[in-house]
Amino acid sequence: MESASQTLARHVVRTSYDDLPASAIDAAKWFLLDTIGVAWAGTGAPGADALRRTVLADGTGGDCTEFASDRRLPPMSAALLNGMYAGALDFDGVYEKGSVHPDIVTLPAALAIADQQHASGRDLLTALTLGNDISCRSGGAMTGNRGWFNTATHGVFGGAAAAAKLLGLDADQTADALGLAFSQAAGSQQALVEKSLVKRMLSGMAARAAVFAALAAQQGVSAPKEVFEGPFGFHTLYGDGACDALLDGLGERYENAETVTKKFPSCTANHVAIEATLALRDAHDLTADNVDGGTVTISPFMNGLVGGPFDPADNPQVAAQFSAQYSVACAIVRGRLGIAEIQDDVIADPSINALAQKISVRVNKDWPGKFAPCDLHIRTVDGRELDHHAAHTPGSPENPMSLDDLKEKFRDCTASGVRPLSAAQSDRAIETILGIEDVADVSGIFAFQQL
């Protein structure tokens, strides 16, 4: 009897670009642009330089692109660094049903192999679609979690599938790649709880593991076949899961199309609060001086991520990105929350910090949502009581961003990082990436850096 991972492997091998629905391809292209943008900004994030020095000490030289650099690296090194950059600012897309950020693992793994193989844009989009669908399916099929970081533990399967597809592996080799991915699936939420820098490296570690899995399978390394359902398989060790859910509608429904685009460079659990704050601020001319305090009501899941006290002492950026209090206060003071608002000088702003201490977090235990809804209540110094209910996460299918919104986000992101792009370079990048299906060799798509 065929195992779940063997079924997934056969699906990956048999599916071509022409088999994919337009919605799935459009989503892959949308998040290709989005993820490259946020990764570009992430090249300058705290921790990025330290990881760069660590990786480069092991040598350079290879076929693979490092974002915002002229260096070419071996595939596993490129996947590690680009995966870290993509996840560094917590500004990347998220599949809410499974709490998985698929693209920050799948894209770095896929791009490393696509560079090496001189793959076409259609080949890359096919691999991204298949890989991200598997990452999302894996996350969505899990009904429990024993403390693992979902993006890494589910994303490694999608990354391995995408890399295997680009290498042209057969079904048996692709099944081995998934088994090798399982053998490396790792990443604990403890890094998030302690707000340590390694949290933003977990996606890169998973991308590197995914590339290794596909390359080792290509060389004939065998691996477990009952990856998910085995007595010591993924669903036994990592959290309660169901293979029926994992495989439901495989090849007919592509879950990557349900990924949410992040509107703000912050944990997704903050986004409804940020949007609610901006709505009240614009409607009532709120400022740090006329706000007396407030309460943001969120779900238990959201509270576990962003409900703790705001303390920027040890790691300002991570603390700000995982604080509902900072999010509300910053949105009132600055009128936005973009790349500039997660830099140390803004996070240290006394007016934002003072206002954050006046914001309390309340938990509605009856709300099951992971990233929505929220209720925001603001008290003003002149006695007004203002309320706003945000029902849907910004960037979700219920509350979508436009293509113009996405392009503006890309421009904001690529204007920062270690190698900021000019307006002309950014516009050329947008044109190139949105037309990726017509590119014969993706190893040249970063030529916009040379404008």
Instruction: Tell whether 63 and 191 lie within a shared domain.
Output: yes
Instruction: Tell whether 252 and 288 lie within a shared domain.
Output: no
Q: Tell whether the model's pLDDT for residue 10 goes beyond 60.
A: yes
Cα separation, 305 vs 374, in Å, equals 14
First CA to last CA across the chain, in angstroms?
A: 55
- Which strand (E) or helix (H) includes residue 207? helix 202-218
Instruction: Tell whether 417 and 386 lie within a shared domain.
Output: no
The residue assigned the tokens 């403890």 is 190
DSSP state of 92: S
Instruction: Tell whether 236 and 99 lie within a shared domain.
Output: yes
Whole-number pLDDT of residue 356: 97
What φ, ψ does residue 252 adopt, rounded to 5°?
Answer: -110, -35
Are the beta carbons of 160 and 177 closer than 8 angstroms? yes
The residue assigned the tokens 């391995």 is 160
User: 335: helix, coil or strand?
Assistant: coil
Q: Which domain holds residue 222?
A: 4-261+410-450
Q: Is residue 396 part of a domain?
A: no
**Mean per-residue pLDDT, 358-365:** 97
Q: Is residue 344 part of a domain?
A: yes
Whole-number pLDDT of residue 396: 86
Q: Is residue 107 part of a domain?
A: yes
Whole-number pLDDT of residue 59: 84
Tally of structural domains, the chain: 2
Instruction: Tell whether 242 and 310 lie within a shared domain.
Output: no
Inter-residue long-range contacts of 227-234, CB under 8 Å, 24+ positions, other chains counted: 227/3, 227/4, 227/5, 227/178, 227/179, 227/182, 228/3, 228/4, 228/5, 229/3, 229/4, 230/3, 233/182, 234/138, 234/182, 234/185
Predicted structure pTM score: 0.91
Q: Tell whether the model's pLDDT for residue 196 goes beyond 70.
A: yes
Are the beta carbons of 161 and 134 closer than 8 angstroms? yes
Query: What is the domain-level CATH number for residue 278?
Result: 3.30.1330.120
Cα separation, 155 vs 148, in Å, equals 12
One-letter amino acid for residue 143 of the chain: T
Instruction: Tell whether 221 and 284 lie within a shared domain.
Output: no
DSSP string, 273-328: HHHHHHHHHHHHT--TTTEEEEEEEE-HHHHHHH-S----SS-HHHHHHT-HHHHH
Q: Tell whether the model's pLDDT for residue 24 goes beyond 70.
A: yes
Cα separation, 394 vs 434, in Å, equals 22
Q: Is residue 320 part of a domain?
A: yes
Instruction: Tell whether 291 and 381 lie within a shared domain.
Output: yes
Instruction: Tell whether 433 and 309 lie within a shared domain.
Output: no
Q: Is residue 64 part of a domain?
A: yes
For residue range 388-433, list pLDDT tens digits in order.
Answer: 999 999 988 889 999 999 999 999 999 999 999 999 999 999 999 9
Whole-number pLDDT of residue 450: 67
Q: Is residue 63 part of a domain?
A: yes
User: 430: helix, coil or strand?
Assistant: helix
Instruction: Tell whether 311 and 199 lie within a shared domain.
Output: no
Instruction: Give me the helices (H) in 119-170, please.
Output: 121-140, 150-167
The residue assigned the tokens 């080792």 is 216
Q: Which residues make Cβ contacts (< 8 Å) with residue 215, sequence separation at least 6?
A: 75, 76, 163, 167
Q: How confident is the model at residue 449 (pLDDT cuts 50, 70, 90)?
A: confident
Cα separation, 189 vs 204, in Å, equals 15
User: 322: helix, coil or strand?
Assistant: coil
For residue range 277-296, list pLDDT tens digits in order.
Answer: 999 999 999 999 999 999 99
Question: Which residues does residue 360 pair with via DSSP β-bridges, in sequence order?
Answer: 295
Cα separation, 98 vs 345, in Å, equals 34
CA dihedral (227, 220, 109, 66) positive or negative: positive
The percentage of residues in the chain with a pLDDT greater than 70, rounded to a whole number, is 100
Q: Using DSSP bridges, classify how beta strands 385-390 and 374-380 pair: parallel, antiparallel or unpaired.
A: antiparallel
Instruction: Tell whether 15 and 125 lie within a shared domain.
Output: yes
Query: What is the domain-level CATH number for residue 137?
Result: 1.10.4100.10
**Mean per-residue pLDDT, 176-198:** 92
For residue range 121-164, list pLDDT tens digits in order.
Answer: 999 999 999 999 999 999 999 988 889 999 999 999 999 999 99
Cα separation, 412 vs 405, in Å, equals 11
Q: Is residue 405 part of a domain?
A: no
One-letter amino acid for residue 439 of the chain: V
For residue range 58-117, list pLDDT tens digits in order.
Answer: 888 899 999 999 999 999 999 999 999 999 998 999 998 888 999 999 999 999 999 999
CA dihedral (326, 331, 334, 340) positive or negative: positive
Whole-number pLDDT of residue 451: 56
Instruction: Tell whether 254 and 109 lie within a shared domain.
Output: yes
Q: Is residue 397 part of a domain?
A: no
Instruction: Tell whether 380 and 416 lie within a shared domain.
Output: no
For residue range 247-279, list pLDDT tens digits in order.
Answer: 999 999 999 999 989 999 998 899 999 999 999
